[in-house]
Amino acid sequence: MLVDKKPDVCVLGLGYIGLPTAAVIARSGCRVVGIDVNRNVVDTINRGEIHIEEVDLDGLVQGVVARKMLRASLCVEPSDVFVIAVPTPFDENHAPDISYVLDAATNIAAVLKSGDTIILESTSPVGTTEKVRDMIAKLRPDLKVPGIAKDTADIAIAYCPERVLPGRILEELTNNDRSIGGITPRCARKALTFYKRFVRGECITTDARSAEMTKLVENAFRDVNIAFANELSIISDHMGLDVWEVIRLANRHPRVNILHPGPGVGGHCIAVDPWFIVHSAPDQSPLIRTARTVNDGKVDHVIARATDMIAANPTLKVGCMGLAFKANIDDFRESPALKVAEQLAHKFGARVSIIEPYASSLPSEFDGTAARLIDIDTALLECDILVTLVDHDAFKAIPLAERADKIVYDVRGIWHDQPGQAPQRQLRLVG
Ligand code: SAJ
């Protein structure tokens, strides 16, 4: 009888996706070595600690490191399965940069042996998995690679994008369905066997290019839908309508589900991935490109409206509520809220205070401004104007009685849908 040996796994890139992935694989009983170019990251993980914030990740990493199932290293080591989870940024022209992926493939090539599987998880433009395959073929002519070798390949190469939501990463890593795209059907089957070890969601196999496009399409879909909501808020502002009321009523239609307007789209995924599609098919993607422009433009709209409001009330103090890129997390990457608050702090100096329960100090963007970080209680005492930039639960919980005398620019609509809590002095600035 064949013994189902647990594969040794090497995860390249220990960021927001790579580290939780490495920890979950280690928990499933595979020995995992995680690779990162940053020595601090490697040392931190080897102490059983983490360098990023994510719900329940600290306890999980501490446990798998203590049990010697996970360790970190600067150098790629021989393994049975290699998972690539390195960044794929874009340049100033929105052209995707897959150099980190190809560097990872180069490092893997040096230790690769017959029977190994390589899985790319990084969000990537269509065709990247084939480029990984071509790189391996070039560096390791001794191995038969899939899609090129005439007979059965020595190794398997597949694409399997993550689709986890920051703040729910561990839960979604295990429970979400996965698309697994093989360079060949055999590659997909090999990768499927691996994911079945730790994924409870359904794993659906396809080809590598379809899986690559699927990931980009998911985030572009969300971006386009958020753009619709943001455009609606600007139209409503122009027409003197309350966008929250319009959306609330429209969403009573059984087939309408409009998303929430806000100060723009932040994070490292939704504002980036649609560009990968536009870059591949510029003449075929006017809608996706325009959605990006609408969402980026919303930040400027909010800055302009808030500026008018603050300038019209020159004696009043202002509280900017939230810096995070979305609710209930401490991630400020590409945050539109931070961009708005920073601009207002530079324009209005000491009149502006920042309220961010997820920060212990103000980020460097506020250097040179007189802005202070204050808590919610102080804000309710000191600030006459409140600009709600993030829908943190702690902000939503502020009752009307405590904010009834404030002038509010409710960019996130956090205080709109509380029955019986119609604002008294709330400025109907909602766009
Ligand atoms: N946002 C709005 N209005 C909304 C929804 C979101 O303004 O109605 C804003 C948020 O405030 C935030 C941005 O959009 O600034 C993105 O937030 P998000 O919660 O929509 O998504 P992310 O970036 O945290 O994670 C996304 C997810 N993709 C989809 O939901 C299609 C996640 O599943 C992906 O794994 C992740 O991108 C990724 O890594 O690609």
**pLDDT band per the 50, 70, 90 thresholds, residue 429:** low
- Which atom of ligand 1 has the smallest separation from the CA of 391? 11
- Sequential DSSP letters for 254-306: TT-------S---SSSTTTHHHHHHHHSGGG-HHHHHHHHHHHHHHHHHHHHH
- pLDDT of 2: 53
Domains in the chain with CATH codes: 9-207 (3.40.50.720), 218-410 (3.40.50.720)
Mean pLDDT lowest among 229-238, 258-267, 334-343, 411-420: 411-420
**pLDDT band per the 50, 70, 90 thresholds, residue 5:** confident
Query: Of these residues, 160, 203, 269, 383, which one is catalytic?
Result: 269
Mean pLDDT along residues 141-169? 95
- pLDDT of 86: 98
Mean pLDDT lowest among 97-106, 107-116, 144-153, 373-382: 144-153
**pLDDT band per the 50, 70, 90 thresholds, residue 150:** confident
Cα-to-centroid distance, 164 and ligand 1 (Å): 10
- Which atom of ligand 1 has the smallest separation from the CA of 221? 31
- What are the backbone dihedrals phi and psi of residue 319, each rounded to the nearest 5 degrees, phi first? -115, 120
Q: Is 218 in the pocket of ligand 1 (CB under 6 A)?
A: yes
Give catalytic status of residue 317 as yes or no. Answer: no
Q: Is 163 in the pocket of ligand 1 (CB under 6 A)?
A: yes
**pLDDT band per the 50, 70, 90 thresholds, residue 163:** very high
Pocket perturbation via mutation, ligand 1, pick of 173, 248, 265, 416 by most ligand atoms within 8 A of CB: 265
Mean pLDDT lowest among 52-56, 80-84, 124-128, 340-344: 52-56
Give catalytic status of residue 30 as yes or no. Answer: no
Query: Of these residues, 190, 215, 298, 406, which one is catalytic?
Result: 215
Q: How far apart are the C-alpha atoms of 374 and 357, rounded to whole Å?
A: 9
- What are the backbone dihedrals phi and psi of residue 72, each rounded to the nearest 5 degrees, phi first? -115, 155
Cα-to-centroid distance, 270 and ligand 1 (Å): 6
Atom 25 of ligand 1, nearest CA residue: 165
Q: Is 110 in the pocket of ligand 1 (CB under 6 A)?
A: no
Q: What's the gap between Cα 366 and its chain centre?
A: 23
Q: How many C-beta atoms surround the C-beta of residue 256 within 10 A?
A: 10
**pLDDT band per the 50, 70, 90 thresholds, residue 53:** confident
Mean pLDDT along residues 154-180? 96
Q: Is 319 in the pocket of ligand 1 (CB under 6 A)?
A: no
Average pLDDT across the chain, whole number: 95
> Are the CB atoms for 243 and 237 separated by under 8 Å?
yes
Give 91 or 229, the one with higher predicted confidence: 229
> Are the CB atoms for 101 and 212 separated by under 8 Å?
no
pLDDT tens, position by position, 239-296: 999 999 999 999 999 999 999 999 999 998 999 999 999 999 999 999 999 999 999 9
